[in-house]
Amino acid sequence: MTALKEGDKAPDFKGIIENGSEITLSDYKGKKLVLYFYPKDNTPGCTAQACNLTENQTILKEAGFEILGVSADSAKKHTNFIQKYSLGFSLIADEEKEVIKAYQVWGPKKFMGKEFDGIHRTTFVINEEGVIERVFTKVKTKEHANQILESYK
């Protein structure tokens, strides 16, 4: 769905995380960022993905990765989601879909025979200089951390 590819400059963003604080891409300058977009808090696939990243967060951090999730859910929903599953990273509440659209992950989808607009589950790994190193469009929700780590071997 996204036209962004490896080697592209990552679109700058400014968003609000679950606690109401503002966060930007430049906050991660000098770090490798796993920026993952997912459809909705508390749904089976999204929960599996978030829990997999949390369970493997130590390994990801040791490999130099920071994690940040993005969906169109509210900050309040994100807070509940984080608390319910003890997630170890922040989530951008992109209710206006500004970050989502900047990364070109919003568009037509089909589910159970119905077509609608929504977020296409996509992960970008952005390097220390703000350049996209990896793009995952076929995300394996239950083993996403391993999918990311394996791509660097």
CA atoms within 13 A on the CB side of 24: 5
* Tokens 């997912």, residue located: 38
Q: Which of 86, 36, 32, 39 is nearest to 61 (CA)?
A: 32
Would you call 51 a catalytic residue per the annotation? no
Q: Encoding tokens for residue 10?
A: 């990552």
User: In degrees rounded to 5, what are phi and psi of residue 52?
Assistant: -60, -45
Of 17, 46, 92, 119, which residue is the catalytic one? 46
Q: Name the token pair of 110.
A: 């089909």
* DSSP state letter for 43: S
What positions carry a catalytic annotation? 46
